Amino acid sequence: MKNKRREYEKNTLSSSDLPDNPLSLFSKWLNEVEEINNLESTSMVLSTVDANSNPTSRTVLLKDFNEGGFIFYTNYNSPKAEHLEKNPHAALLFYWPNEERQIRVRGTVSRISKTTSEKYFHTRPRLSQLAVWISKQSQKITNRKQLEDELATITTKYENQEVPLPDYWGGYSLFPDSYEFWQGRRGRLHDRFHYTLNKTIWSVERLAP
């Protein structure tokens, strides 16, 4: 492992490239990734902290973003949801190796409206909607057959009708107060810029690599 390394040479990031609002740069970078790889471009690592201050990270999918925040969906009974109910501060990490770029986002998380969650829920493939009803996320199960049997049962129950949104499933929005943009550079002299929100104004500074 110690001999595995690569040089980062594709792009640069300078202060002249930085917009006043970091969301604009996030959108620009995301669009550039989607032009190359639209399947994994919205994968992001979500980090939360439990009641004992133990951090946990997992990969989730970004489903929307705007001035109000970064939106993702989950089971409200899941460990990540339990963490967020007790401590709404969280972090996101986007890493796009082909573009040699990384974005770190920190902020406060809150639930979105049930109406918005329901609207998104019905855009999901039907199998994904049914799966929400049988997935007691992160709880122990006996075997794979248990899932398949429960899926068969719920499929029959909602045959020829719309699958309703469970009360325990929906979206969260992370409202950012900090961004860090990282552009890989040759010799590990990377470009790093950190945005910090002060009320409604973003300030930005360059960080050492």
Distance CA 59, CA 51 (A): 21
Structure tokens at 107: 């902020």
Catalytic one of 6, 58, 185, 188: 188
- The amino acid present at 36, given as its one-letter code, is I
Any residues with CB less than 8 A from the CB of 88 and at least 6 apart, and which? 108, 109, 110
Active site residue 188: yes
Check residue 53 and report its DSSP letter. Answer: S
3-class DSSP state of 159? coil
List, in sequence order, the alpha helices (H) in the chain: 22-34, 79-86, 114-121, 126-134, 144-157
26 vs 192: CA distance, rounded Å = 14
User: Known catalytic residues?
Assistant: 188
